[in-house]
Structure 1
Amino acid sequence: MESGGDWCLIESDPGVFTQLIRKFGAKGVQVEELWTIDDTIFENLRPVHGLIFLFKYLQYEEPSGPIVNDDRLDKIYFAKQVINNACATQTVISLLLNCTHTDVDLGPELTKLKEFSMSFDPKMRGLTLSNSQTIRAAHNSMVQQAVFEFDPKMPVKYEDSYHFVGYMPINGRVYELDGLREGPIDHGPIIPEQDWLEVVQPIIMKRMNVYTEGEIHFNLMALVSDRKMIYERQLKRHLNEVQMLDMDTDEVEGEIARLRMFIEYEDIKMARYQQEMARRRHNYMPFIIVLLQILAEEKKLTPILERAKERSAKKGPKKLKV
């Protein structure tokens, strides 16, 4: 069985991942970017179903825990990555298919994938996933429009490779889901009344410390319940309380106003995600060509190029945010 078709690279962006999930047909969940891994950042995001970690791939990095190869694989959805550029989609799907929270609705496509492939071994699951036309089409719909095309025969400059993995709690233990491994990595139990995020925080920090000092090429995102859905649920509860108890206090009214503001913010955020995706996929080449022609005719192109070179030299190499 061979995996069919090419898979594009996906940008590490919460809007892209959220829209990707919805393209799969899943509901009740979205992705949020994390700027720190301190406890405080999770307070307004709970429930957190999993973490998505992007890092510079080291070919000979040893696993930070034992790799599961026993009968737990019958209950944990883990797919071996068998094609290039699919790690983003595989990480998201692995988190979704292992999530049992009532907020998460997998939808027909992912439900069918899980039911069909859970009896397979990890490699066969990976092949099944990569041969899903629906999932591949959703993945490739996230592609960013290439402004220039390069001759594949030309020598390619070596660039660092980056890889996505997922972390999540499953049956009382924290697992790392990395499609390049032979199975999930077991990071140990979650003790009673302990938040699973307390277990995973030092694991991620330790992994980041493996790299040389000054390395900042990391990105961390959280898979969380749909924020608008959460706020609408809370708003409905407050409105029912006001109606049933005939309450009309400033505190309750303030909370209702706050929730309505959060709902509006989520609507604005999702509209911005769609706008950003439209911009990613738009072909700006005709506009760029006309602009360059105008600048050249007005003899402004060379001075602009020189100023750009000067600014680039002062800034140094561009790096991803932590």
Structure 2
Amino acid sequence: MEAQNAIATAQEEIPPMPAPSHWWCKMQGLKGTNSRRLSIPDVDLRHKWIILTGGNSGVGLEAALQFVRWGANIVLGCRKPPPHEMHPDVAVQNLKAAALAAGYQDTIIEWWECDMASLKDVEAFGKRWLQKDRPLDILANNAGMSGVLGKVQYTCDGFEIVHQVNFLSHVLLTLMLLPSLARSSQPRIVCTTSCMQYFGVFNLDNANSGKGSYPNNKLYFQTWLTELQFRMAKHNEYKHITIKGVHPGYVKTNIWVTPSRESPMSWDKRTLGFLLKYIGIDAQQGSLAITYAATTMESGGQHGLLSSTDKVCGAEGRYANRIWDEKPMPQTMHPECRREVWDFVSEELKLGEKQLLNGLSWGGRLGCAGRVRGCRAGDGIWDASGFRGNLGVFALSISSLSLTKCVLRRGNRSVVTLTHSTNQFTPNLTSQNISSQDEETINSTSTSQHHTIIKPFTTNQVTIMADTTTTSTSAPATGASPTQTKRKTFVPLENNPQVMTTLLHNLGLSPTLAVHDVFSLSDPSLLAFVPRPASALLLVFPVSEKYEKYRREEDEGLQEYKGSGEGEEVTWFKQTIRNSCGLMALLHAAGNGSARDFVDPNSTLGKLLKEATPLAPAERADLLYNSPALETAHSASAQQGDTAAPPAEDIVELHFVAFVVVNGKLWELDGSRKGPICRGEVGDEDALGEKALEMGPRRFVGREEGELRFSVVALGPSMD
């Protein structure tokens, strides 16, 4: 009953996804009807290069005309048009005439075929540009189409046509051109989204269904570009790139008043076309949304395109209603929504296989791979099924394994076999079907070497099966602990704030404190979501070869900790229960620093801390090992969370460590180390202060470049 109540409590505490009111969405959408006549200042775009899709008609053509009047070189990405559209050859002639009239005779103006309904076309366009070896200053993702009447239409790539033309193709082109954009001093990406995002429904099941395709995909596009901005901000080569979504206004163009892809016009299109005669703006006015976002200081991160030659950090994936910054749909700024869209489109386009996600795995926040369960290495099954979504590159370090073959299993069928050869595992890329009997044929030898397996995956769940003769390197503590070979093992705890908060409260921590997600270690806007002061941080990290090498080298210079008594600066517990590192991190967080004052002295945790204080480390470990109340509380919480609880014997090559501020010092508390480690003075800062972050979790993240299996939560004031 206690476990059921705890589970119910945790479920009640899980915050819902953003759900803006219908009235708010309507009002935001109505702002898009603003038809005020605008003008923007002239700028100098000489020697700048621009790519603009959909530039042979409507808003795109008008934006291109303005760009060339400012002296820019431009390449239009256009399809071979139907009869009702201007041919790109004619558009290029008009652009050259406009450039010449403005006094620019030497600008380069071209059009290259790029049908957004063909991913092959988009890839060919991107490769052609990259072969030119030029910096790209502005990418304007403008091409698009309206909804289609009648049955759902699919492209040659198998995607619903609006989903691909208005969203997927722009994603693919943008990621292909990032290296070229990075070479510019102040590059801009401008995406024509729409105020129609306010009428979209955030349900990825409908993204490729054709149902509500136009507003839904505008919502997903704005969400994706916001996520891209956060990810680029963490990439040294991309952090100066600014991306922004814009609504050009209700524009009188042929996207609404002519058939789409030879489809008959629907009654709502005809009605809208009639209304636009009276409330709509012309294409030139609509184009100002693109040209303004592409060139002005206000649309940049800290500077406009022309104000400096220095690389600067971009804006946060903002959205503009014409030229005015506006609040987008709340889902576009919600980390989980952004992650879902990013993973979804990455899987659809196989972006990991195309090597287009390099350096973008972390995404400016932690825990982007979903909820995970942390524990230290030992013997058994290597299980990464706690990771949900597109993993990009799945990297697993295996220490001292005795094996010759490893099977990477997706579900129960599709597998990839990695065979030991010349001190590395070589992937056999041929997928095959295996049965439970096949799993028992994994061979083992006594090679006892260290290997790292790195394999791209775009599957939702990956389990790594390995037969090993390795035994645990750390035995139970002496004293009352059992001496049998197989020591006590817990089900790994999920790094879920609700689960952890419930466990701490059940143990005796005051409800005035709670655990909270930390989505970034550097972005002030995301750090601002965490209640302060934070007394402790809990970091989940991969136990990689780099980490183990670092740990061994540091531990060589450390003595085994023997502290005890009231004079200790911190209370440290040695971990002797396998898979209990999450629990140990919570005990270290709640049992030290300011949080300890919020522990009920008559509770399970209060009594444990009181009994542990005079004991030596080995005796403290025995105290925890033999505590039925602690085991019961942990068992109830370990069954909760967003991921299925694995068997206690499973191995997840992830580990929890706590960083706690005590008397102005940052302490790293890890039960698997020789003792507590003081990382330095932080003064009056809390655990999320700049000094603490730099001496604590950032050191771990910086050591593992390209690794995405990190997650951080903080212990701080409750929001209730």
- In the superposition, the TM-score normalised over structure 1's length comes to 0.60
Is residue 577 of structure 2 the alignment partner of residue 83 of structure 1? yes
Q: What do you get for the CA RMSD once the two structures are aligned?
A: 3.1
1:200 equivalent in structure 2: 692
2:706 equivalent in structure 1: 214
> 1:11: Cα distance to partner?
1.1
Out of 44, 50, 53, the residue aligned to residue 536 of structure 2 is 50
> 1:160: Cα distance to partner?
5.4
Q: Match for 1:110: what amino acid?
A: L
> 1:172: Cα distance to partner?
2.1
Q: Match for 2:499: what amino acid?
A: V
CA contact (8 A) 1:96 1:106 kept: no
Range moving further from structure 2, 48-57 or 2-11:
2-11
Q: Residue 138 and residue 64 in structure 1: after superposition, are their counterparts in 2 closer, same or farther (change >3 A)?
A: same
1:140 equivalent in structure 2: 635
1:253 equivalent in structure 2: none
State the alpha-carbon separation in 2 of the partners of residues 104 and 221 from structure 1: 19
Q: Match for 1:175: what amino acid?
A: W
> 1:25: Cα distance to partner?
2.3
Out of 481, 499, 516, the residue aligned to residue 2 of structure 1 is 481
1:29 equivalent in structure 2: 513
Q: Match for 1:2: what amino acid?
A: S
1:233 equivalent in structure 2: none
Structure 2 unaligned spans of 5+: 1-479
Would you tell me which structure has more helix in proportion to its own residues? 1
State the alpha-carbon separation in 1 of the partners of residues 616 and 686 from structure 2: 31
SS in 1 for 2:693: helix
2:470 equivalent in structure 1: none
Please give the per-residue CA displacement for 1:72-96, whole angstroms capped at 9, x wherever unaligned.
8742110000120111111101111
1:294 equivalent in structure 2: none
SS in 2 for 1:61: helix
Would you tell me which structure has more strand in proportion to its own residues? 2
Q: Residue 106 and residue 12 in structure 1: after superposition, are their counterparts in 2 closer, same or farther (change >3 A)?
A: same
Is residue 665 of structure 2 the alignment partner of residue 181 of structure 1? no
Q: Residue 149 and residue 162 in structure 1: after superposition, are their counterparts in 2 closer, same or farther (change >3 A)?
A: closer
> 1:190: Cα distance to partner?
2.4
Please give the per-residue CA displacement for 1:266-287, whole angstroms capped at 9, x wherever unaligned.
xxxxxxxxxxxxxxxxxxxxxx
Structure 1 stretches of 4+ moved >4 Å: 63-68, 70-74, 145-150, 193-196
> 1:124: Cα distance to partner?
1.8
State the alpha-carbon separation in 2 of the partners of residues 92 and 77 from structure 1: 12
CA contact (8 A) 2:538 2:713 kept: yes
SS in 2 for 1:91: helix
Please give the per-residue CA displacement for 1:278-308, whole angstroms capped at 9, x wherever unaligned.
xxxxxxxxxxxxxxxxxxxxxxxxxxxxxxx
Is residue 550 of structure 2 the alignment partner of residue 61 of structure 1? yes
State the alpha-carbon separation in 2 of the partners of residues 169 and 51 from structure 1: 9
> 1:9: Cα distance to partner?
1.1
State the alpha-carbon separation in 1 of the partners of residues 685 and 500 from structure 2: 28
CA contact (8 A) 1:14 1:32 kept: yes
SS in 2 for 1:217: coil
State the alpha-carbon separation in 2 of the partners of residues 137 and 195 from structure 1: 32
The 5-angstrom pairing of residues 251-290 of structure 1 reads: none
> 1:148: Cα distance to partner?
10
Q: Residue 149 and residue 220 in structure 1: after superposition, are their counterparts in 2 closer, same or farther (change >3 A)?
A: closer
> 1:22: Cα distance to partner?
1.6
Is residue 605 of structure 2 the alignment partner of residue 126 of structure 1? no
Q: Match for 2:703: what amino acid?
A: V
Q: Match for 2:501: what amino acid?
A: T
> 1:147: Cα distance to partner?
7.5
CA contact (8 A) 1:32 1:223 kept: yes
State the alpha-carbon separation in 1 of the partners of residues 681 and 542 from structure 2: 27
Q: Match for 1:89: what amino acid?
A: L
Q: Residue 161 and residue 44 in structure 1: after superposition, are their counterparts in 2 closer, same or farther (change >3 A)?
A: closer
Larger Rg: 2
State the alpha-carbon separation in 2 of the partners of residues 115 and 175 from structure 1: 21
Q: Residue 113 and residue 102 in structure 1: after superposition, are their counterparts in 2 closer, same or farther (change >3 A)?
A: closer
> 1:149: Cα distance to partner?
9.0
Q: Residue 64 and residue 53 in structure 1: after superposition, are their counterparts in 2 closer, same or farther (change >3 A)?
A: farther
Q: Residue 105 and residue 8 in structure 1: after superposition, are their counterparts in 2 closer, same or farther (change >3 A)?
A: same
State the alpha-carbon separation in 1 of the partners of residues 611 and 645 from structure 2: 40
Out of 578, 581, 606, the residue aligned to residue 111 of structure 1 is 606
Structure 1 unaligned spans of 5+: 229-322
CA contact (8 A) 2:536 2:715 kept: yes
Aligned residues: 220
Is residue 661 of structure 2 the alignment partner of residue 172 of structure 1? no
State the alpha-carbon separation in 2 of the partners of residues 22 and 44 from structure 1: 19
SS in 2 for 1:181: coil
- In the superposition, the TM-score normalised over structure 2's length comes to 0.28
SS in 1 for 2:675: coil
> 1:56: Cα distance to partner?
0.5
